[in-house]
């Protein structure tokens, strides 16, 4: 892999994604890892990420400088660039000045790393100190007002670095620089594709599972669907999928799991219609956290009951040893830098099964980012509607009905949500919008006039957001005509709703979901 050494800022995941966009497999490792441990991973190249603003700061992260003597190509970014400059004998000046945001870099000598760059390029900066002298043997490629040495390389040693952030979109030629380094300076061949991921995972799953039986909980979302499809491809009819229908999915989604997913993959699917169980448990509950806990608890109970039936009644017996989970790479990284146990989301990742139902986990998506999961799903032949499904919370519409949940309210919200989804799709906005929760303010009423009569109905909130990772988000600027169309249709076609409002709050301070 290409190792991305996390020097403590938020950039390591983004760098790892950009490397994969260059069709090379990447992994994130902590800066505290020794050069020997890095070498044990057989790295194709090492990239040092950005970090704090100064290498002279107390407690500033350091990287084992033995990596520069291993012969592995090294690329330094921002703070990583300064670390590298300092370790190799250049000078890093403690300027106390900051250069932040959009900056113009003047290219003195494009070299291999900046090949194809015009004489000046726009780059995104975020640094305090700056490199004043490049290490011996390194060619200075660029400078900015705040950084006399803003990029350098030594092609013989296969090392290079830039002071700016090539991984952010604000540096338009950033990906080109990264690819120049990977392909030309480091000499790597891009060969990491969805097809290679599938081949590799299929082999790993077969090795792990052997002839044992495997179960998988399907949620309707893309992660569990792709994970199940991979396992199905690997071990075929040793897999049984369980779909707990809690009645809180959007209109048509349960049918899509039952029909389209099975048609695309041929999996054996057990559907448990548990709608009444969830409605009963949620009756009169209005507190958001209580709702979440109840839905999570009932989900595990329902799944457990199905798993028990499979293990004890359906003749699969003790052979069911494995449970598939759709854990993704960001979960893995966030729970300890890729080395630790997976952080199990409390809801549909079925973390809380009782002790006498112990399964080993099969997690074929552990190394993948969301967009890669989608690419793998398409390659496996899953329908676009499943692969491109926008994120949907495990507790479903239960946390989009503000107030107590009952069947009548679910019906209202499903109808309004279906209209919003249909119109956003028709306007071609699905890929621009991260997701668009549609929320029913079930305990709020307002006066309206429809036809000749006064109405006293409920508001629907549209919450379209754009985001890269759901950690932060901005409200999407959906064209007014599209909003007008959605509003018209909802108020005309859903009689209980007489008002449609738009949520124009970013995250933070607002979360994406209302509860």
Judged by the rule CB under 6 A, the positions of this chain that interact with ligand XMP are 345, 347-348, 391, 393-395, 435, 470, 507, 511-513
Q: Which of 7, 31, 78, 253 is catalytic?
A: 78
* Residue among 141, 127, 129 nearest 86 (CA): 129
Strand ranges across the sheet with 213-218: 268-273, 239-245, 213-218, 320-324, 360-362
Name which of 395 and 457 has its Cβ closer to ligand XMP. 395
**Contact residues for 426 (Cβ-Cβ < 8 A; gap 6+):** none
Q: Helices 480-493 and 407-426 sit at what angle, rounded to 10 degrees?
A: 150
Name which of 73 and 464 has its Cβ closer to ligand XMP. 464
Q: Is 167 a catalytic residue?
A: yes
The 3-state DSSP class for residue 120 equals: strand
- Phi first, then psi: what are they for 296, rounded to 5°? -60, -45
228 carries a ligand binding annotation: no
Q: What is d(CA 513, CA 464) in angstroms, rounded to the nearest whole number?
A: 10
Sign of the CA dihedral 362, 366, 370, 373?
negative
Name which of 170 and 507 has its Cβ closer to ligand XMP. 507
* Half-sphere exposure of residue 157: CA atoms within 13 angstroms, side-chain side: 20
72, 81 Cβ separation under 8 angstroms: no
Name which of 30 and 393 has its Cβ closer to ligand XMP. 393
- Shortest CB 337 distance to ligand XMP, Å: 22
77, 167 Cβ separation under 8 angstroms: yes
**Contact residues for 169 (Cβ-Cβ < 8 A; gap 6+):** none
Q: Which of 31, 127, 165, 347 is catalytic?
A: 165
- Shortest CB 513 distance to ligand XMP, Å: 3
- Shortest CB 349 distance to ligand XMP, Å: 8
Kindly state the tokens that stand for 243: 């779909």
123 carries a ligand binding annotation: no
Sign of the CA dihedral 260, 263, 269, 272?
positive
6 carries a ligand binding annotation: no
- Shortest CB 97 distance to ligand XMP, Å: 36
Strand partners, 244: 272
219 carries a ligand binding annotation: yes
375, 362 Cβ separation under 8 angstroms: no
Name which of 73 and 394 has its Cβ closer to ligand XMP. 394
Full DSSP string of 287-298: -HHHHHHHHHHH
428 carries a ligand binding annotation: no
Torsion of CA 250, 255, 260, 265, to 10 degrees: 100
Kindly state the tokens that stand for 363: 């997690």
194 carries a ligand binding annotation: no
**Contact residues for 313 (Cβ-Cβ < 8 A; gap 6+):** none
The 3-state DSSP class for residue 510 equals: coil
Q: Which of 153, 167, 363, 496 is catalytic?
A: 167
Q: What is d(CA 22, CA 20) in angstroms, rounded to the nearest whole number?
A: 5
* Stretch (H or E) spanning 385: helix 384-387
Q: What is d(CA 482, CA 373) in angstroms, rounded to the nearest whole number?
A: 30
Task: Spell 115-150 as b/e; 16+ CB within 10 A means b.
Answer: eebeeebebbbbbbbbbebbbeebbbbbbbebbebb
Name which of 52 and 296 has its Cβ closer to ligand XMP. 296
Strand partners, 45: 2
- Shortest CB 511 distance to ligand XMP, Å: 3
DSSP 380: T
- Shortest CB 465 distance to ligand XMP, Å: 8
225 carries a ligand binding annotation: yes
Name which of 240 and 435 has its Cβ closer to ligand XMP. 435
40, 84 Cβ separation under 8 angstroms: no
Q: In degrees, to the nearest 5, what angle opens at C-alpha 75 toward C-alphas 71 and 77? A: 155
Q: Is 78 a catalytic residue?
A: yes
Which residues contribute to the annotated binding site? 219-225
**Positions marked catalytic:** 78, 165, 167
Which residues contribute to the annotated binding site for ATP? 219-225
């Amino acid at each position: 892999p290409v190792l991305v050494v996390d020097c403590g800022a938020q950039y390591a995941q983004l760098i790892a994604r950009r490397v994969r966009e260059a069709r090379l497999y990447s992994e994130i490792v902590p800066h505290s890892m020794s050069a020997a441990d890095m070498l044990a991973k057989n790295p194709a190249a090492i990239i040092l990420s950005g970090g704090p603003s100064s290498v002279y700061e107390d407690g500033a992260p350091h990287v084992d400088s033995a990596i520069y003597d291993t012969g592995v190509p090294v690329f330094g970014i921002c703070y990583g660039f300064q670390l590298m400059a300092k370790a190799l004998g250049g000078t890093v000046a403690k300027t106390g000045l900051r250069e932040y945001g959009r900056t113009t870099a003047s290219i003195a000598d494009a070299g291999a790393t900046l090949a194809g760059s015009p004489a000046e390029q726009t780059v995104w900066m975020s640094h305090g100190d700056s490199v004043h002298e490049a290490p011996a043997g390194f060619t200075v490629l660029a400078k900015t007002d705040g950084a006399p040495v803003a990029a350098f390389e030594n092609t013989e040693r296969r090392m290079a670095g830039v002071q700016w952030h090539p991984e952010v979109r604000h540096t338009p030629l950033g990906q080109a620089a990264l690819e120049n380094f990977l392909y030309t300076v480091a000499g790597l061949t891009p060969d990491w594709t969805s097809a290679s991921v599938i081949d590799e995972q299929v082999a790993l799953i077969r090795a792990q599972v052997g002839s044992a039986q495997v179960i998988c909980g399907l949620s309707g979302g893309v992660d569990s669907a792709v994970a199940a499809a991979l396992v199905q491809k690997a071990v075929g009819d040793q897999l049984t999928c369980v779909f707990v229908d809690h009645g809180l999915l959007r209109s048509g989604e349960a049918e899509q799991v039952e029909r389209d997913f099975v048609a695309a993959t041929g999996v054996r699917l057990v559907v448990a219609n548990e709608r009444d169980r969830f409605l009963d448990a949620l009756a009169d509950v209005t507190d958001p956290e209580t709702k979440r806990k109840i839905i999570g608890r009932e989900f595990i109970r329902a799944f457990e009951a199905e798993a028990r039936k499979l293990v004890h009644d359906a003749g699969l017996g003790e052979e069911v040893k494995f449970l598939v989970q759709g854990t993704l790479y960001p979960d893995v990284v966030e729970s300890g830098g890729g080395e630790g146990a997976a952080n199990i989301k409390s809801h549909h990742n079925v973390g809380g099964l009782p002790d006498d139902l112990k399964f080993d986990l099969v997690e074929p998506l552990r190394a993948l980012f969301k967009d890669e999961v989608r690419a793998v799903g398409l390659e496996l032949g899953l329908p676009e509607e499943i692969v491109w499904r926008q994120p949907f919370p495990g507790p479903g519409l239960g946390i989009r009905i503000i107030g107590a949940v009952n069947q009548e309210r679910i019906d209202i919200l499903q109808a309004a949500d279906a209209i919003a989804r249909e119109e956003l799709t028709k306007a071609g906005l699905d890929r621009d919008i991260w997701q668009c929760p549609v929320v029913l303010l079930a305990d709020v009423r307002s006066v309206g006039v429809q036809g000749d009569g006064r109405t006293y109905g409920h508001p629907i909130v549209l919450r379209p957001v754009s985001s890269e990772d759901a950690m932060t988000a901005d409200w999407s600027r959906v064209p007014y005509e599209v909003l007008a169309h959605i509003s018209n249709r909802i108020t005309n076609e859903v009689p209980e709703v007489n008002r449609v409002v738009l949520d124009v709050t970013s995250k933070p301070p607002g979360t994406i979901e209302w509860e």
